[in-house]
Amino acid sequence: MNIKSYQPRKLSIPVTELEQASFCQLDDNLRSKTLEEEFKSGVKWQKVPNRYLKMSPEEIDFEINRMKSIIGSKLYILGHHYQREEVIKFADTTGDSFKLSLEASREKEAQFIVFCGVHFMAETADILTSKDQKVILPNMAAGCSMADMAPSEDVEDAWEFVSSVSDNYVPITYMNSTAAIKSLCGENGGLVCTSSNADKAFTKYLESDKKIFFFPDQHLGRNTALSLGINLDEIKVWNPFKLNGGLSEIEIKSAKVLVWQGHCSVHTRFNVDQIEMAKNDKNAKIIVHPECTNEVVSNSDYVGSTEYIIDVVTNSKSGSVWGIGTEINLVKRLASENPDKDIFCLDPIVCPCATMYRIHPAYLLWVLDGIGAGLVINQVEVDFETRINSKVALDRMLEL
């Protein structure tokens, strides 16, 4: 067989990774700022009409509520758990990415679905909603640093190479990926998974003696494989910056799981020293997201998805102490909603998700004003073929 090599891509750092430091601070006072103030920090966000730049938080709040009243039942606003408080308070429903997409698919009355999240989430909502519904992303620059680490062209080239070396691989992608990658999985017998059902997705194929190529988060892939009894030396990392992923044909053939070298810029900030400090100083229980490194996951008391973290902490005993390894806006919200418990973020340097942070309330107002004026601003549309194959991958997940 003539095997064509995979050519490494040019080394680059997603803009979202570079922006992360702009929003980190030593306390948890994530105060509201005007859009003009945010732009001064050097962010690369979508431009908006000048009138929105200097509007105060109070003015924006008033106008958003007014537009929601005018548009009425034709509007449905989705708010991801990682959104800042001044945005999520306007959401008709809140949740993680897949829960929100399912909610969108069940919403039959609304003509406009405004997704306060990031681009891949809006794509998934468009795939799952009807053709006459319009999915809108308030800020089109709101991508995802993890998804940015796996450009669809690179994944397609890598898949072509790996499947030419061994025809026993099946592609699985995390929800945090482009529609094009979801489509690739659907077209090649694979599926999409979330952090809450990755173990079921892996088991489905491993029990059939299939190998897995997992995109784009190496940590969720590694943690899931290890939890299912796969040995560490049977898990190989595909480095897109190296020829053939930095792997030999023998390594690809002998591995059981390949994981794409991507990560979440928020969850990889947590470390074992933070866990030990939380346990020693506060005798805290530790709960983290599986996008954290395996070292962090292995030293935590509980590990699970965003919805799992919310459920465990909310239903814990009064007076309990929790050190949480996930996005700060969610941690702050949990602390506010559970005043009888001591809830804090493991990382003392507060860093909100830079991509979620791009949904400023002024952007929400801008797209609502557009709807009120008969204009659809920032509609997210997935092309027909990609939509069909992505839906196949999503349906396979639902069958789990």
Architecture of the 267-345 domain = 3-Layer(aba) Sandwich (3.40)
Please give the Cα distance from 290 to 283 (Å, whole number): 22
Alpha carbons within 13 A on the beta-carbon side of 197: 17
DSSP 197-254: THHHHHHHHHTTT-EEEEES-HHHHHHHHHHTT--GGGEEEE-TTSGGGG--HHHHHH
CATH number of the 147-265 domain: 3.40.50.10800
Q: How far apart are CA 329 and CA 345, in angstroms?
A: 10
With a cut of 50, list the residues of the chain below it in pLDDT: 1, 13, 15, 17-18, 20, 26-28
Strands 211-215 and 93-95: unpaired
**pLDDT confidence of residue 25:** 55
Instruction: Specify the residue for token string 């090649």.
Output: 188
pLDDT of residue 362: 97
Buried b (16+ CB within 10 A) or exposed e, 327-355: bbbbbbbbbeebeebebbbbbeebbbbbb
Q: Which tokens sit at 278?
A: 């939380």
**Exposed/middle/buried for 227, CB within 10 Å: 0-12, 13-18, 19+?**
middle
Closest CA to 119 of 345, 380, 334: 380
Q: Hunting for tokens 């173990």 — which residue is that?
A: 199
pLDDT score for 143: 87
111-137 pLDDT, tens digit each: 999 999 999 999 999 999 999 999 999
Q: Which residues contact 312 (CB under 8 A, 6 or more apart)?
A: 287, 302, 304
User: For residue 58, which amino acid is it?
Assistant: E
Q: What is the pLDDT of residue 18?
A: 47
Q: What is the pTM of this model?
A: 0.89
Q: Is 273 exposed, middle or buried (0-12, 13-18, 19+ CB in 10 A)?
A: exposed
Q: Which amino acid is at 214?
A: F
Q: Give the CA angle between residues 310, 194, 186 to the nearest 5°.
A: 160
**Residue 179 DSSP class:** H
Q: Into which CATH architecture does domain 56-141+355-382 fall?
A: 3-Layer(aba) Sandwich (3.40)
Q: Is there a common fold for 147-265 and 267-345?
A: yes
Query: What is d(CA 8, CA 10) in angstroms, rounded to the nearest whole number?
Result: 7
**Among the listed residues 330, 334, 196, the one whose alpha carbon sits nearest the alpha carbon of residue 266:** 330
Cα 382 to chain centroid, rounded: 18
Q: Strands, E, within 143-297: which ranges? A: 169-174, 191-193, 211-215, 235-238, 257-260, 285-288
CA dist 162 and 3 (Å) reads 9
Place of tokens 């690809």: 252
**Could you report how far apart the first and last alpha carbons of the chain are, in Å?**
35
Domain boundaries, the chain: 56-141+355-382, 147-265, 267-345
- Cα separation, 278 vs 322, whole angstroms: 9
Contact 211, 257 (CB under 8 A): yes
Q: What angle do CA 277, 283, 284 make, to 5 degrees?
A: 80
Cis previous bond, 216, omega within 30? yes
Q: What is the pLDDT of residue 6?
A: 79
Nearest-CA neighbor of 252 among 267, 234, 239?
234
Q: How far lies 178's CA from each of 147, 214, 269, 359, in Å? A: 7, 14, 24, 19
| Residue keyed to tokens 């239903």 | 315
Which of 216, 212, 222, 195 is CA-nearest to residue 257? 212
| Dist. CA 267–CA 254, nearest whole Å | 30
